[in-house]
Amino acid sequence: MSDLLNFFADNTQLLLEKTLAHLGISAIAMVVALALAMPLGVYLGHRHAGSFLAINISNVFRALPSLALIAISLAFFGLSRLNVEIALVALAVPPILTNAYTAVDGVDPDAVEAARGMGMTERQVLTGIELPLSWPLIFAGIRTAAVYVVATAPLAAIAGGGGLGDIILNQPTYGLVGVIAATIVVVVLAFAVDILFALVQRAVTPRGLHMPAELVTIVPAGTDTAVVAKDAAATAEHV
C-alpha cells in the first residue's frame, strides 16, 4: 500500500503526462465516432427506416475484438496512432449509433404529428422536436462509448504507445505497483468521464420531459445503456 502511495508521489509528473495523452487519444476517437455514428443514427431514426442497418452495423462493430483490430491495422499502417484510433472508433460507434437511432425513432409520434400539423418543416421537426426529446438517450449512448474508450485506450501501448497503457504494459520497468497505479488512474478517469457525461445528460434533458427511471438514476460506469435501451425498445415492440 505504501509502495503504491510512493509510486504516486515519485511519478506524479509521469502519470500526469500519460493521463493527458490518454485523454487526447480517447478524445480523438470519440470525436471521429460521433461524426460517423450520430448523423447516421439520427437520420435513420428520423426516417424511421433502416433499423436493420442501424442495429446490425452496431452488432458487427460490437463483435470486433479491439486487440485483433489493432493487430491487423498494425500490418497495414505500421506502428502509429492510427491503429489505436481505428480500434477505439469501432468500439465507440455501436452505443452511439444504436442509442441515436433508438432515441429519434422512439420519439412520441403524436408530438411529431402535432408539429407537422402546426406547419413545421422537416428540418424544424428534427431540430425543434425530435432532437430535444432524444438528447437524454443520445447522451446515454455517448456516455457509454466514452467509458468504453477510456477503459480500452491502454491497449494503445501495443501499437505505438501513448497514454497510461505505456505504464500498464511495461511491468518490467514500472513494476506491478506501477501497473496498479496506472490502472487506478484509468478507473478513476472512467468514472470521472461517466459522471461528467451524466451531468451533461441531465443538463440537456428538457424540463418536463418524463424520463424512464433507469436513465434518471446515475447509471454505473460501463453499463451497457444501449443494451438496456434496446431491450426496452424490443419489449415495447412486442406489446
Q: How far is the CB of 124 from another protein (least distance, A)?
A: 31
Stretch that binds another protein, among 47-55, 109-117, 120-128, 167-175 (CB under 8 A): 167-175
Using rule CB under 8 A, residue 142 touches another protein: no
Q: How far is the CB of 216 from another protein (least distance, A)?
A: 14
Of 38-67, binders to another protein (CB under 8 A) are 59-60, 62-67
Amino acid in position 136: P
Cα dist. 17→12, 89, 189 in Å? 9, 23, 14
Residues in the chain, total: 239
Please count the CA atoms within 13 angstroms of the CA of 32 that sit on its side-chain side: 17
- Sequence-distant (6+) residues with CB within 8 A of 168 are 154, 157, 179, 182, 183, 186
Q: How far is the CB of 31 from another protein (least distance, A)?
A: 21
* Contacting residue, 96, 112, 125, 155, with another protein by CB under 8 A: 155
User: Cell numbers at residue 89, please?
Assistant: 472508433
Between vectors from CA 229 to CA 224 and to CA 232, what angle results, nearest 5°? 130
Q: Which parts of this chain interact with another protein (CB under 8 A)?
A: 59-60, 62-69, 71-72, 74-76, 147, 151-155, 158, 165, 168-169, 171, 176, 179-180, 182-183, 186-187, 190-191, 214, 220-224, 227-228, 230-232, 234-235, 237-239
